[in-house]
Structure 1
Amino acid sequence: MLRAHKGEIPFFYWLMPFTAGIVCGIYYGVDQLLTFITATGIVSVTGFTILNLLYNRYNIHRYAWMGGLILNVFLLCAGWLLSYWHNDRNQDNYFAKHKAGYLVVQVSSEPKQKGIYTRFTAEVRQVIANQKHQATFGKILVTLTADSNAHLVNYGDVLVIPGSCKPIDPPFNPAEFNYKQYLAHQNIYYQSFLNRQQCRLVNYDAGNSILAFSLQLRQRLVNSIKQYLHTPEAAAIASTLLLGYKADLSPEVLQAYSQTGTIHILSVSGAHVAVIFLIISFLLKPFRHHRYGKMLNALLLLCILWGYTILTGLSPAAVRAAVMLSMVIISNAGTRPVHPLNVMAVSAMAMLLYNPFLITDVGFQLSYLAVFGLIAVQPIIAELWEPKHKWTNKLWQLCSFSLAAQLVTFPLSVYYFHQFPVYFLISNLLIILPAEAIVIVGITFLTSTFIPALAPFTKVAAYILEWLIIGLNKVLSYIEHWPYASLGRIWFNSWEHLLLYAIIFSLIYFVIYKKGKQLITTLACILILCTSLSWKAIRKQSTGHIIFFNVKKNTAILFRHNDKAVLLTDLLPNEKNYQYSVQPCLDSLGIESLQLCKLQHNLKNTFFSKHLNYIQFENKTVILFNPSIQNTVLPHKIGVDYLFYTRNPHSNLTFIRNNYNFKHFIVDAGVSAKRTQLLKHEADSLHINIIGLRRNKSYIVASNH
């Protein structure tokens, strides 16, 4: 497919500068460049128009590259401007630019309830200030605290909430997930925490009627799955796999599917919709012989395809798959054959025109890369070996599909998820038939729930569905526990990630064209990547750090010596706070040997010594100032490099200075806001520099060996 002529896949080549412009607009969309980009776009449009008008008169065909260059510049500017103007904060009537006592908001997503918290996204319709209403727009993330058994809000409800909202916090610790950036890519920059009394319902069911209907229908089907499937884990997987409802999915199940390289089947994506597409195509085969059979077949396919997409609650993955397959159906209905790579590019460009921020979505990136691999790379891999035996050839064809998809997506998977499933080929081959069977039986089961007369059949279908899911889980759980089932803690920076793609695509081009330039490019990229990884490995073996984490109500301090470390903390490894704030840092640093030490315990090794509250790490000393020593008067001052004020002791700064001579004073994030503020005022009067971790990034100290 890579051998296709440019004239067959123009949208594929136009998509590249367009997406490059979108990325530039998202990350470099500053006001100072707006005029320049706009002027460049206007000049390129004008130049392209003039070029076409004078094409024949002045024999401009001799300079064919000019038209392509000008068009690429225009598409780059168009993508840049599109992403800039799609950013709500760049609009004058963005709600955060107006003072507000109250906000009138409309619930725009399905509220998700977990414990006493209900979280949802809302569109700000109006701001209210001094009893005056002003129309605005923008999104806000709302977290509502209420009884866990009460569903306070639904999609489409209109609420009045207090106007005070806070910016989303950035990541506070090294390698921590950037939730602020994740929400910013959805045009959400502020959040509000409310209780039941602060939220007033003024209207309900005011949202999009199609989306409201789809969400209600999905919830009804989820309840049916829970009613008929008796194993909670099987019911959660069925709800996720068939309907895109992930609220009940456990972390253990996600880990099993992730480590075996089959996480993609837990998303209502192209594979699921494609199975339904093939089933419907088979059922509608008789219509093809009708006079208008081709058009009627396409129309029925589109209606059923989008009907199922609505059934899934219009989840982003299902919509992506439906858009791509809709383009395929429409192109097949025409008389002129269309290259599948061009169809893929048209669907991607259409979705990016609707929402350019989709380019930052991991699912969007992985799905389109996987489709590209299946269209363009799979035939190249399949040609590498042509078995003569019929069934061996079919098995190789299946393997080539899995290899192609994995080859073009694994750099992205490693970059985001930091692991690589070693047995992905085996696990994917083993789940092909069960996954298809689950989709077919699941759709049959869900359809039968609407017909009361089919209740006995519904029970049989539910039993088969549950048996298939449990069997699939057992197979994947077995593979998960194989030796070296997953290579974890793989951390590539953005440049190394791009180098991986450069290696892959230059190698593919070399296999196709057998030219020395591609081979030299591949070897050069491999050399640069190996140099970068080697330099990181050398630095890991010759550096040391002290990291004072910001873990809110808990305490965590990392003492790193090369690839060994001691973690002083009151957290357990299975706690959410540990997994979210501490574990990513440990993985990114490549810690091979970690010792956990409780705050009240003593520990001594070759590079670390802790006795009571006194810590010696290499050439640095730390004192843990907590309630256990808050009233202890020392006979003479103790000199330390770092005094770590933690666990809310009541001693003031004057008392501490009389007993300790410190170079740096650090206040833990778990210390109350009131106590932190008092310490800061006292430190200002005593001319002491205080380092507060509350709502600040973790404090990192480099240690010299």
Structure 2
Amino acid sequence: MRLLPPLILAVITAWYLNINLQNIIIAVLCCGLGLTLLRSLPIGKRYHYQWVQGVFIYVLIGCLGMFITWQNNSSHQSNWYGKFYNDSMQMVVSINEPLIEKERSFKVSATVESLFNNDTLKKVNGTLLLYFAKNKTAATLQYGDKILIKGNLQSIQNNGNPGAFNYSRYMAFQQTYHQVYLKEADFIVLHQQKTNIVYDFIYWARSKVVKTLQKYIVGDKKVVGITEALLIGYKEDLDKDTVQAYSNTGVVHIIAISGMHLGLIYVVLVWLFSKLPYIKNSPITRVILILGCLWLFSLITGAAASVLRSAVMFTFIVIGKNFFKQASIYNTLAASAFVLLCYNPYLLWDVGFQLSYFAVIGIVWLQKPITNIWYIKNKFLRSIWEMCAITIAAQIIAFPICIFYFHQFPTLFLLANLICVPLSTVILFAEILLLIVSAIKPLASAIGQTIYVLTWLMNTCITYCNNIPFAVIDAIFANVLSTILLYVFVVSGCAYLLYKNKVLKYTTSVALLLFLVCWGYHKWQLLQQQKIVIYNVSKHTAIDFIEGNKYQFYGDDTLRIDGALQNFNLKPSRILYQINVAPNGLPAVQQQHNFFEFNNKKIWIIDSAITCKPLANPIEVDVLLVTKNPNINLENILIAVKPHCIVFDGANSLWKIEQWKKQCDDLHLRCHITPKMGAYILNVP
């Protein structure tokens, strides 16, 4: 527990301050020199300055964390492809996984092996995303295939809308910085393969499991998709509305392959191997079998961060219980986190990793005190209350980070978990049994039908809970400062209730006061806001006029009715600015056809071909928005209009935008391209 904090701090420092290798080496040498000098002191003085030795050790651990972070960044490697690539080159890449089918393309991750330019071959490494246009050749590609590609690499970018998910940073943590779209003529399949025996087995096993489930669990695709996700985390067949319902009711961990799945399997394995002859009397055999089963399940499910955390933690627990004395569970948790961060420091930013540890800490710390609040004699009712205590304990410690990432709180999480955890447990073991007996078709069919009915029942219960008014509190404000203050309040408050320490009481009160001040100040700031946001939405026009906590939307009708498009492109911004739609519009917004005036800021929208007549005094507008590929010439527009900024949004073709940008450069006009620069935000004074 004492070694983990400096490692975490070092990883964060290395990422945000971009510490280079030279500075890390200098720090290590200084620490080594300092420790050598301490060792040369007399024993008495060494004891007196023992705390200095501790500081040096902490700094060394920090240097380890910074070095691991630097080393795991593929762009720092001497042979990273990004240091040598140019548009005239071809690439030899090997496909890392089975292709994922999208609506209009196939998506896959690939490893760059070499760059080919004329007669020169350069060995390189790195990972990029490939998008294939749907065609027969692309559909036949498999894991391990090598292909020669020719295409202009594009940097992975965010959509740039306010509050949007930072996709480029997420992919950077996966060491992927570029993507390329390939038509059939842009690649050649080479008669070579590069595979790994472990990944070969994983993809074969996942495919076999999915096919078995689809063969014997027949019916509504929404139900079948849940069964696949619940057992091995296969998400390709999940229905978006169903996933949202699980998220809104606080039980999304059931289909996200959390530590709960591994915990259930661990309990059954311990019980099973403690009953079998020969195995129960051989600790080494028992440990090997338990860990083998746990890690096999972890690998087949895709080795998600939450499952890795559980697998590493259970590895420590199993080995400790069988060969060493029982250690503190907090040290076991810290040790598993330390090992995982040494393996991949970028797991620190993984939401599943964070939620997994927060939830387990909550259960370990608070489950027993919560259980002891209410003593129930009846065994059945007591087991239900213990289950409730586990859910409440996990939620208490995890909810601040959930609000920070998802800006919502499921008010019915307790009811939903009481229904779903027992049902999902039965379904999980029934699916495992189905895989075991899949060769016996009549029995497998009966089990498959039972699984379908139970999963349908679980889906129905979740949908019903989700449809209850106020099942979820949505659009909750949260930033880094408010989340830290909320955690101080929650942790110190729980500690005060457990230990009755006055310092903790005052800490809780101060944290709550500061949190309320932070929340109130932010609310006050939002009530004063006035701005115009022109969003970056591919093939669509979208504008929000914002005044205080209300907004008026202008854009395509598709965006008004398509919930998925709104949730992805517009909702994050509306949560960030804490705004709700103005039912009758904003009085400050004056509209005449495509001309808008909002508190003295003028916007003219051109969405079709237009010819302007020259004016002696061109009309001044703050923003000229060009959208939907109009057939226009900017020089002709400027004889009638004088814009402060010309905005080209995502509803235009990129090649047209490039032509208009050249015109803007020639005419010395300021322009903003939303597909490249993100949303255009005009603050109204």
Q: Scaled by the length of structure 1, what TM-score is found?
A: 0.91
1:211 aligns with one of 193, 199, 223: 199
Whether 1:538 aligns to 2:524 is: yes
2:335 partner letter? V
Q: Partner of 1:40 in structure 2?
A: 27
User: SS where residue 553 of structure 2 aligns?
Assistant: strand
**Within 1, Cα distance between the matches of 2:390 and 2:36?**
43
**Within 2, Cα distance between the matches of 1:88 and 1:106?**
17
Q: Partner of 1:365 in structure 2?
A: 354
Q: 1:472 to 1:604 in 2, by over 3 A?
A: closer
User: SS where residue 97 of structure 2 aligns?
Assistant: coil
* 8 Å contact kept, 1:115–1:148: no
1:621 aligns with one of 602, 625, 632: 602
Q: 1:674 to 1:425 in 2, by over 3 A?
A: closer
Q: 1:380 to 1:76 in 2, by over 3 A?
A: farther
1:497 aligns with one of 454, 469, 483: 483
Pairwise CA distance, 1:569: 0.5
Pairwise CA distance, 1:643: 2.2
2:398 partner letter? T
Pairwise CA distance, 1:645: 2.2
User: SS where residue 44 of structure 2 aligns?
Assistant: coil
Q: Partner of 1:153 in structure 2?
A: 141
Q: 1:205 to 1:185 in 2, by over 3 A?
A: same
**Within 1, Cα distance between the matches of 2:290 and 2:585?**
69
CA-to-aligned-CA distance 1:556-576 (integer Å, 9 cap, x gap): 111111111111101424164
**Within 1, Cα distance between the matches of 2:85 and 2:155?**
15
**Within 2, Cα distance between the matches of 1:201 and 1:684?**
42
**Within 2, Cα distance between the matches of 1:694 and 1:299?**
53
User: SS where residue 127 of structure 1 aligns?
Assistant: strand
Q: Partner of 2:444 in structure 1?
A: 458
* 8 Å contact kept, 1:540–1:590: yes
Q: 1:78 to 1:636 in 2, by over 3 A?
A: closer
CA-to-aligned-CA distance 1:452-481 (integer Å, 9 cap, x gap): xx1111011101111110111111111111
* 8 Å contact kept, 2:597–2:603: yes
Pairwise CA distance, 1:235: 1.1
Pairwise CA distance, 1:335: 3.8
**Within 2, Cα distance between the matches of 1:462 and 1:268?**
20
* 8 Å contact kept, 2:132–2:138: no
Q: Partner of 1:578 in structure 2?
A: 566
2:389 aligns with one of 389, 400, 412: 400
1:394 partner letter? S
Pairwise CA distance, 1:389: 5.6
**Within 2, Cα distance between the matches of 1:489 and 1:139?**
36
Q: Partner of 2:173 in structure 1?
A: 185
Q: Partner of 2:157 in structure 1?
A: 169
Q: Partner of 1:657 in structure 2?
A: 638
Q: Partner of 2:500 in structure 1?
A: 514
* 8 Å contact kept, 2:609–2:631: no
**Within 2, Cα distance between the matches of 1:344 and 1:514?**
26
* 8 Å contact kept, 2:609–2:632: no
Whether 1:229 aligns to 2:214 is: no
CA-to-aligned-CA distance 1:321-354 (integer Å, 9 cap, x gap): 3222222211111142222222222222112111
Q: Show the 5 A alignment for 1:466-505.
A: 466-505=452-491
Pairwise CA distance, 1:593: 2.3
Pairwise CA distance, 1:512: 3.5
CA-to-aligned-CA distance 1:188-223 (integer Å, 9 cap, x gap): 111111122222222455221121122112112211
Q: Partner of 1:82 in structure 2?
A: 68
User: SS where residue 192 of structure 1 aligns?
Assistant: strand
* 8 Å contact kept, 1:287–1:296: no
**Within 2, Cα distance between the matches of 1:417 and 1:253?**
17
Q: Show the 5 A alignment for 1:175-574.
A: 175-231=163-219, 232-287=221-276, 292-387=281-376, 390-449=379-438, 451=439, 454-570=440-556, 571-573=558-560, 574=562
1:43 partner letter? C
Q: 1:303 to 1:671 in 2, by over 3 A?
A: closer
User: SS where residue 521 of structure 1 aligns?
Assistant: helix
Q: 1:702 to 1:499 in 2, by over 3 A?
A: same
**Within 2, Cα distance between the matches of 1:342 and 1:640?**
63
Q: Partner of 2:629 in structure 1?
A: 648
Pairwise CA distance, 1:25: 1.3
Q: Show the 5 A alignment for 1:108-123.
A: 108-123=96-111
2:669 aligns with one of 688, 695, 699: 688
Pairwise CA distance, 1:555: 0.9
Q: 1:319 to 1:693 in 2, by over 3 A?
A: closer
Pairwise CA distance, 1:316: 4.6
Pairwise CA distance, 1:442: 0.9
CA-to-aligned-CA distance 1:347-391 (integer Å, 9 cap, x gap): 221121111111111111111222222223323433444456655
**Within 1, Cα distance between the matches of 2:280 and 2:480?**
55
**Within 1, Cα distance between the matches of 2:492 and 2:345?**
28
Q: 1:629 to 1:130 in 2, by over 3 A?
A: closer
Q: Partner of 1:589 in structure 2?
A: 577
* 8 Å contact kept, 2:280–2:286: no
CA-to-aligned-CA distance 1:410-446 (integer Å, 9 cap, x gap): 1111111111101111211222211110111110011
Whether 1:17 aligns to 2:6 is: yes
Q: 1:463 to 1:619 in 2, by over 3 A?
A: same
Decide which moves more: 142-151 or 229-238. Answer: 142-151
Whether 1:607 aligns to 2:591 is: no
**Within 2, Cα distance between the matches of 1:636 and 1:92?**
59
Pairwise CA distance, 1:632: 7.0
**Within 1, Cα distance between the matches of 2:78 and 2:429?**
50
CA-to-aligned-CA distance 1:630-665 (integer Å, 9 cap, x gap): 467789854433322222223322322222243333
* 8 Å contact kept, 2:313–2:333: yes
Aligned CA-pair RMSD:
2.5
Decide which moves more: 438-447 or 641-650. Answer: 641-650
* 8 Å contact kept, 2:408–2:473: yes
**Within 1, Cα distance between the matches of 2:290 and 2:665?**
71
Q: Scaled by the length of structure 2, what TM-score is found?
A: 0.93
**Within 2, Cα distance between the matches of 1:70 and 1:404?**
37
**Within 2, Cα distance between the matches of 1:13 and 1:257?**
37
CA-to-aligned-CA distance 1:595-648 (integer Å, 9 cap, x gap): 6xxxxxxx9752222121221222222222232644677898544333222222
User: SS where residue 25 of structure 1 aligns?
Assistant: helix
**Within 2, Cα distance between the matches of 1:685 and 1:239?**
56
* 8 Å contact kept, 2:151–2:181: no
Decide which moves more: 213-222 or 198-207. Answer: 198-207
**Within 1, Cα distance between the matches of 2:36 and 2:486?**
39
User: SS where residue 13 of structure 1 aligns?
Assistant: coil
Q: Show the 5 A alignment for 1:658-673.
A: 658-673=639-654
Q: How high is the sequence identity, in percent, across the aligned residues?
A: 26
1:83 partner letter? T
**Tell me, which stretches of 5 or more residues in structure 1 are unaligned?**
1-11, 596-602
2:545 partner letter? F
**Within 2, Cα distance between the matches of 1:329 and 1:151?**
44
Decide which moves more: 245-254 or 655-664. Answer: 655-664
Q: 1:688 to 1:234 in 2, by over 3 A?
A: closer
**Tell me, which stretches of 5 or more residues in structure 2 are unaligned?**
none
CA-to-aligned-CA distance 1:43-68 (integer Å, 9 cap, x gap): 334544665x5798226444553343
Q: Partner of 1:128 in structure 2?
A: 116
1:236 partner letter? G
Decide which moves more: 271-280 or 160-169. Answer: 160-169
Decide which moves more: 464-473 or 331-340. Answer: 331-340
Pairwise CA distance, 1:99: 3.4
